[in-house]
Chain A
Amino acid sequence: MSVAQLAQGSVPHAAKRAARRDAVFTASVVAFGIIVAASLIGPWIAPYDPNELYVGPVNGVVSLAHPFGTDDVGRDILSRVLVGAGASVFAPIAIVVLSTLAGALLAVLAAWYGGVLRGAIARVVDVIFAIPGLVLAVLAVAMFGKGLVAPVIALSIAYIPVVARLTQTAASRELGKPYIAALRVQGVSSFAVCFRHLVPALVPVVAAQMAVGFGYAMLDLAAISFLGLGQQAPAADWGSMIASGQSAILAGAPEQSLFPAILVVVTVLAVGIIGARVTVWAEEKER
């Protein structure tokens, strides 16, 4: 979605203030840790087969046997949420890693060489920026079919502009500092300046951007699955579960949509706080 493109890595003061408080930060890390752990071992700790029909009643309420209830065809919602966590958590991580590698590479190239190359990269980034992430993802689905692969690649491309612009600003600022000129005068090779000094100096900025980007990637990907273009049945991720639970809501049983929705919101909030803390760290490092 476009919010990711809007954000440009800015983290509001309120979030930074909250993240500075150790209790809030610790709670966020614990929550995110549990969610990541659950997504890793989900298939082994799920109490039921996530795709087996009628292990409980249709639209069953929360109970001891089914802590999150059962869905419109009697599947155990907790088991589906646990098994779906893998795609819901790791697909956004893939997007963040891919877009950061590509964006940071373009940024360092542009800042290092400048001139024509910088202009060409800026033009490419402008064109990508003009295509909203959701549209690019839907276009990719139209080309390569439904599923998570096409949207993950499309969103990785869609996130490049934010990463590239932010990193390039930081890289240009770093390259303008006197110590870089001093290193060059001392005859340190360009390669060494770039990889021993420039790239490590960019790590805090890039790390902060990655943490912030994860939240947006998760929301965008869940939206694609919600539209029915991402994860395909019978497999589920949180976005597709929220969508398929809509008919159950109208039958008076919100559990099927509600639990995955709560997990999406909690994950995004926790990562937002962690991202704010990393940003605070990056800013202190800059000073």
Chain B
Amino acid sequence: MNSLLRTLLGRLGGLLLTLFLASVVIYSALLVTPGDPVSTIAGGAKPTPELIAQIRAEYHLDDPVWMRYWQWLSGVFTGDFGRSFVYKTDVLNLIAPRFGVTFQLVLLTVVIILIFGVGSGVLAATRGAKVDRAVSIATSLGMALPTFVVAILLIWVFAKSLGWFPVFGEGAPGRDRLWHLVLPAVSLAVMFNAYISRVTRSALVAQLHSEHVDTARVRGIPRARIFRVHVFRNASPQILAIAGTTIAGLFAASAIAEQAFGLGGLGSLLTEAAARKDLPVVQLVSLLLVAIFVVLNAVADLVSALIDPDSVASGRQA
């Protein structure tokens, strides 16, 4: 247990270092960006010298680089996230309401992936060659169906032709919201479903062919119990590690579904801010997405470790 604790502490240190370095990379984006941010902040009008001076003072553009980075980073920790160049409001005010939409979209997508992705992987591994073949053809196709293609197909069939689902926007919170998020979540889930299905299948098959499962069979343990205790449990750390990385990536990938269905989430905010060169917004949303990605990966590692400590102690080193 001691070595496990040490490994996990090492991982935590590596995680913080990675996050810090990523924040430096994201912040330096502002510095190497060609063009003067003053023109973005002032908007279309030609700014007067007084206005330029006022803007430069307000956004601390004349301070040295390390000082501006320090102010930005300490701001991130104290709740001062900077101001949008375009909306002239605190970045936090822009992000807070949109985070909920993205979070709910990702949550619904994860539910779909856990049911259909893991479910079809289990079926492929346990229900014979025919089912395995059918699932493998479906996943081969699924891996080539990106979110934006599935999105336009769903809009065409279920929103336009059949009229079952709304086409645009996130709707009012509650049941209406869920209704609006079904198609975006499905479009986001298809490719990841295929991937998780394959990972699940191959992890299970590896266990099914292992010696300890043969031994359990010979001992006459019921099939269902063998599957639960000896197969699924041993395969789960591997499935979880990949599922964690997948879920972590969904927060960034949701930008595409949000764009296709006109949802006001984090991804559409990031896209819009990038198009308008609103760097404070781009930086903070990017940092948030990176933090989510890194932390969820670490959580998946941790959960895998709790299920099967050996996989961490003997596994890949951070």
Please tell me if the beta carbons of A131 and B275 are within 8 angstroms of each other in the complex.
no
Please tell me if the beta carbons of B256 and A226 are within 8 angstroms of each other in the complex.
yes
- Stretch among B71-79, B103-111, B141-149, B178-186 lining the A interface: B141-149
A134 to B136, CA, bound (A): 28
Within 8 Å of chain B (Cβ to Cβ): is A180?
no
- Tell me, rounded to whole Å, the shortest Cβ–Cβ distance linking A71 to chain B: 14
Please tell me if the beta carbons of B155 and A249 are within 8 angstroms of each other in the complex.
yes
A65 to B194, CA, bound (A): 39
Please tell me if the beta carbons of B275 and A146 are within 8 angstroms of each other in the complex.
yes
**15 further interface pairs, Cβ-Cβ under 8 Å (given A14-B198, A145-B277):** A3-B249, A132-B252, A132-B293, A134-B255, A135-B252, A135-B289, A139-B274, A142-B278, A226-B256, A229-B274, A229-B275, A246-B152, A268-B146, A269-B141, A272-B140
- Contact code string A1-33 (vs B, CB < 8 Å = 1, else 0): 111011100001111001000000000000000
List A contacts of B145 (CB < 8 A): 265
Within 8 Å of chain B (Cβ to Cβ): is A252?
yes
Please tell me if the beta carbons of A130 and B22 are within 8 angstroms of each other in the complex.
yes
| Residues 130-157 of A contacting B (Cβ, < 8 Å) | 130-132, 134-135, 138-139, 141-146
- Stretch among A35-43, A51-59, A189-197, A237-245 lining the B interface: A237-245
Residue of B nearest to A4 (CB): B249
Please tell me if the beta carbons of A126 and B148 are within 8 angstroms of each other in the complex.
no
List A contacts of B149 (CB < 8 A): 242, 261, 264-265
Interface size class, chain B: 35 or more
A264 to B139, CA, bound (A): 17
Within 8 Å of chain B (Cβ to Cβ): is A61?
no
A→B interface (CB under 8 Å): 1-3, 5-7, 12-15, 18, 123, 126-127, 130-132, 134-135, 138-139, 141-146, 215, 219, 222-223, 226-229, 239, 242-243, 245-246, 249-250, 252, 254, 257-258, 261, 264-265, 268-269, 272
Chain B contact surface mostly:
helix
With contacts A6-B195, A226-B256 taken as known, whether A142 is within 8 angstroms of B148 at the C-beta atoms is no
Chain A contact surface mostly:
helix
Residue of B nearest to A7 (CB): B195
- Contact code string B248-262 (vs A, CB < 8 Å = 1, else 0): 110011011001100
With contacts A127-B21, A142-B29 taken as known, whether A1 is within 8 angstroms of B140 at the C-beta atoms is no
Within 8 Å of chain A (Cβ to Cβ): is B14?
yes
- Tell me, rounded to whole Å, the shortest Cβ–Cβ distance linking B152 to chain A: 5
With contacts A139-B274, A250-B160 taken as known, whether A222 is within 8 angstroms of B146 at the C-beta atoms is yes
